[in-house]
Structure 1
Amino acid sequence: MNAQYALASISSSDADRVYGYVYQGPNIYEVLTPEQKRQADYLTEEYRLLNYIDSKDLVAIGYGEGKKAVGQIVYPLSERLGLRRTIDQHMWGGYQFEEDGALLTTNGSGTVLAEYQRRLKKRSIASIKGEWSGQTGGMSATKEVYLDAVQAKSIVSGMKTVIDEKITELMTVYQTGIDQANQLWQDTIANARSYGSNLTEMEQLEALEQGGVTRQHVLIEPVIDYEAALNQLRSIKSSYEDLIYQINQTIDQQIQLDSELASQFKKGTF
């Protein structure tokens, strides 16, 4: 919350130096002065400030549809932990992560993160390009290919963030469908046993089949469809990861072709 106040209070001349992250504080936007609101709006609209908010956490109050905030809102994907009757989740306990440690998001936050990374990389590339262009002899062909590859990686990586979020949401839907199909068949069998207690198990299944209710129709066919959709989503995700890997390989090759590039990377300039 203090970080929100501080960032909304800096001078306009310093605004373009800001890249900020704030986390899990109440929304203070409505109590800011008009001048602070203008500053906060600028940082938000220019994607210079990200505000991570878990709506399941009791602390993060004052956010919602149509409400302005200090920074672009990012919603982490989290599970309800049920810490107490009135608290679903607090801090990092229920957050969901990719295998590589990347935080999963929801509610369209992938698009926000992609745009943030795109703008950040665009400014960085423009700065590097200006520096290289001013050098004696201008910019080498290797460096031009390198910058193109970095820009391509920025775009593809940003899209991967969006795709990962959508795939995670769809996987949850399909997995829920599989769980519900299993539960529906179990409930169907339980009801058949209850209402047909004077029948054998085979007679109960035959009675269900006469009514058009079979294990094949209720459970097997829906699960096959859901699992096929899940496999397709996994394939899409894998293809994107392969594309990013190939772009990274191109970047590495260009670094090795240009001694100055290689030297700057060794020094940690990039």
Structure 2
Amino acid sequence: MNEIKLIKLDWLNTNKEVDDLVPRMREQEWKDFLKSVEHDGIRQPIDINKDMTIIDGRHRVDAAKLMGYEEIEARIHDLNETELFKFVRDTAIERRHLTKEQRLHIVLSTSELIEELEYEAKENKRKNLLKNQYQNSNCGPDEPQLKKVNTNAELGKIAGVSKSTVTRAKKVKAENPEGYDKVIKGESTFNREYEELQSVKNKNYQKEKRASVGRPKKSEQVDLRVKINEEAMTLEEIILQRPEMAAINIVDYAGHINDLLDEAGDIEAVERIISTLEVEKIIKLKNNIDQIIKIGGYIK
């Protein structure tokens, strides 16, 4: 149990990183809070670190100063930097006045949490691979597979948002920091800013372009061959034409498959369902694509 003491207001100091992490109340929320303090006083102690840094309760401190208080009750902690930010994060994301976008911002800003989840994901994947090796060689007892950790999904659970919202928020933060700030201030949403990203607009344009052309059908390919014959191309010319037709179709099909995977969202769920279907087709496709990549030297 942390000790609660009366602390003089002029002893307290702030931490800019903590202040930047948790958005301040909006104007109307602040006015309502001040009315509450005027009527009922400050009912909860603030939280401070042993060096007198405010961890939680800066609005209560500001209100106390405006009301002419000289002291305030404070719960004193002894936290290192990592523990401090974890405390701020866990406390802040439970606040009712924060929007889901602001809660997500707090979660995304605590890098140690993301690193922890990414490490857990890599460790589980490594352990599962080792288990599969042992089981395939009939060495050691069968053990259940460890749960796959999807970092974005886990961050979404903590912030109370969907995995796709986390993915979009990260992209907005990376490509349009100004738009990201607008969301945190409550002036926009991650979905709206995501759709305004130039990279997303370009991608949507390409999808619409492909949709307007339509996926090539086998019957259309037959018609093309008939047309070639009608134009009296030589057999040698026809043979030379086939790889070009195949290359164009492969690139087009690849675009459609990528769009399908992007829209599906959960690649792990897609993999689980595919495993119940004709996987041999995918393996054959992969082998052929690998051969094309190797011949072309596209990946160094």
Q: Which TM-score applies when normalising by structure 2?
A: 0.25
More helix by share: 2
Q: Which TM-score applies when normalising by structure 1?
A: 0.27
**Larger RCO, structure (CA 8 Å, separation 6 or more):** 1
